[in-house]
Structure 1
Amino acid sequence: MRASLRILRDNRRLLVFPLLSGVALVLVVGGVVVPTAVRDWAEPSPSASDVFTVGAGYLLAGFVLTLCSGAMICAVDDVLRGGPARIGASFLRAVRHWRPLLAWSLLNTTVLLAIRQLERVPVVGWIMKELFSAGWALATYLALPAMMVDGLGVAESTRRSARMLRETFTRQVYGSWWIVLPVLLSMVGGFVAFMLGVESNRPGPAITGGAVAALVLTGALLVGATVSAIFRTTLYRDASIAA
């Protein structure tokens, strides 16, 4: 984690990747939600086109996030090799792997949707869903770095990530905890700032508190997403050398 933070400190340009990912996600979701809402307003009963649009938008959003994550991993890999973090070159490198990225996005989306269906199981459904979600996340934590760094396919990347789980499990859990903790603390701090503004019963402090909360949370999410990509790439490279 200290190495990941040092890399971010020396390469602040990496923060652009999660920002672009967020913008692209908003555009995709907006492109799906707005037309669907207009059609629903004109025709309240859902149609087959609405289902197709929502499903296609969901898959497209997953692919966009996967592509941006792959580009960030490529940039981190360049930095770890002693080069600069190049935004355009990293996206071009990720686009050249669009087939495995698309396949991985479809696989990951399908698995997660299937896991969500476990909630329908009475009594233990929620527990089963959480356990399977955590297991899938741990087993595939290094799959995307394997695709971007070593150019592996989806099947081999998933197998390699699962094989590395035994030697990287502790670091995965420990690193993920230290990535999530600042985000949680920023959410609490932002919520406190917002509530203090609201409690003042004046519009000025309320608006200021909301703006502070939004800025703190946005900054924490950007840093957390960037550090997460750096940590995953560094962990994969370290585990590959050890293997």
Structure 2
Amino acid sequence: MGFFDRLSNGWNITMSSFKVLRANKQLIVFPVLSGAALVLIMASFGLAILAAFGFDVEFLESEFFGAESSGSMVLNYGLIFCFYVVNYFVITFFNMALIHCARLYFHGEEVTVSAGLRFSLSRIGVIFSWALFAATVGTILRAIQENTGIVGKIITGLIGIVWSIATFFVVPVIAYENCGPIDAFRRSAQLMREKWGESLGSRIGFGVVNLLAFILLAVVVVALGATVHWALGVAIAVMGAFSIMIVMSAAETIFIAAVYHNVTGTPVEHFNQQLIDGLFEPKN
């Protein structure tokens, strides 16, 4: 399959994802809740650390984050690990809820936010296990990156890319295949090896939509800032950027749900089967 065929397929699959989202606008709630939860949890986390040291920022920086402190490295990476755990847990929890709602829609069942949240709560143990596993990997890569030269940074960067590809299907796998974190990673990587095509055409589609949306937002912001007031332009820029990010996040998660159900043999009514088959086809 040629590049332009994949470009066309990616665009059509992207549009199909947005079609599902338009039919289920309540799914936007999940990325909103995910972002809000991360902000609140990390703000509380930071406040608790400051309170523990009497809000003495200078002491905290000098004693625990100074380059020469032997204890600073342990605390530093401990905090990074905790951040990763929270980050992976929150994102996986709400992505799983969204993926389950997409599955309900694909099967012609009623889609509700509460149904998605209940499903994620029923899988909270494996979500936490995955968060611990992913946070461990992330912390190790961060430590290697920060304590090696340019070659180490390049290697960890490449490992990070491989990790993101190998974990593409992790959320639906831990949702529906009763796998622990290591088995889920292996299963996700296996699915990608079996169905990996020459390129992920959908990334082009989502990239084009994202670029066009931000260009349109920039035009509106500049126009309002120049003709009305700069403060209005800033407000519209913040709200517009946030809206674009949550819509794109929801649509991409719907895409993952659709492709997962396709590659595991479950028909997906609202997606063109040939397009998805062409997106993930075995390598020669």
Query: Considering the TM-score relative to the shorter chain, is it more than 0.5?
Result: yes
Instruction: Report the CA distance between 1:60 and its aligned residue.
Output: 2.6
Instruction: Give the structure 2 partner of residue 19 of structure 1.
Output: 32
Residues matched between the structures, number:
240
CA offset at residue 126 of structure 1?
A: 3.2
CA distance in 2, matches of 1:43, 1:217: 32
- Cα distance change of structure 1 residues 184 and 108 upon mapping to structure 2, 3 Å threshold: farther
Aligned partner of residue 170 in structure 1, secondary structure: coil
Match of 1:126 among 135, 138, 153: 153
With normalisation by structure 1, the TM-score equals 0.84
Cα distance in 2 between the residues matched to 1:14 and 1:43: 40
Say whether residues 1:222 and 2:263 are aligned partners: no
2:56 alignment partner in structure 1:
42
How far did residue 41 of structure 1 move?
2.9
Q: Which residue of 1 aligns with 2:176?
A: 149
CA distance in 2 between counterparts of 1:104 and 1:111 reads 11
Bigger helix fraction: 1
Distance in 2 (CA, whole Å) between partners of 1:78 and 1:101 is 20
Partner of 2:134: 108
**Aligned-residue offset at 1:77:** 1.2
Deviations 1:88-118 (A, max 9, x none): 1211111111111111111112112222234
Does 2:88 match 1:80?
no
The verdict on how the C-alpha distance between 1:5 and 1:12 changes in structure 2, with shifts beyond 3 A counting, is same
For residues 218 and 154 of structure 1, the distance between their equivalents in structure 2, rounded to whole angstroms, comes to 31
Structure 2 unaligned residues grouped into runs of 5+ = 1-12, 65-70, 267-281
Higher RCO structure (Cα 8 Å, ≥6 apart): 2
Q: Does 1:169 align with 2:193?
A: no
Aligned pair 1:234/2:258, yes or no?
yes
Give the Cα–Cα distance (whole angstroms) in 2 for the partners of residues 153 and 122 of structure 1.
34
1:182-207 deviations in whole A, cap 9, x for unaligned? Answer: 33444455456556777x5x9x5211
Judged with a 3 Å threshold, the aligned counterparts in structure 2 of structure 1 residues 73 and 237 are, in CA distance, closer, same or farther, namely same
| 1:160 aligned partner | 187
Segment drifting more, 82-91 vs 185-194: 185-194
Q: What are the ranges of 5 or more consecutive residues in structure 1 without an aligned counterpart?
A: none
Q: Which amino acid aligns with 1:154?
A: P
**Matched residues in 2 for 1:43 and 1:6: separation?**
49
- Amino acid paired to 2:41: V
Judge conservation of contact 2:50–2:57 (CA < 8 Å) in 1: no
Q: 2:120: which partner in 1?
A: 94
Larger Rg: 2
Q: Is the 8 A contact 1:196 1:206 kept in 2?
A: no
Counterpart for residue 269 of structure 2: none
SS of residue matched to 1:241 = coil
Q: Structure 2: how far apart are the matches of 1:104 and 1:177?
A: 29
Q: Which residue of 2 aligns with 1:66?
A: 92
The alpha carbon displacement at 1:80 in A equals 1.2
Conserved 8 A contact 1:32-1:53 = no
Corresponding residue number in structure 1 for 2:68: none
Q: Tell me the secondary structure at the aligned position of residue 182 of structure 1.
A: helix
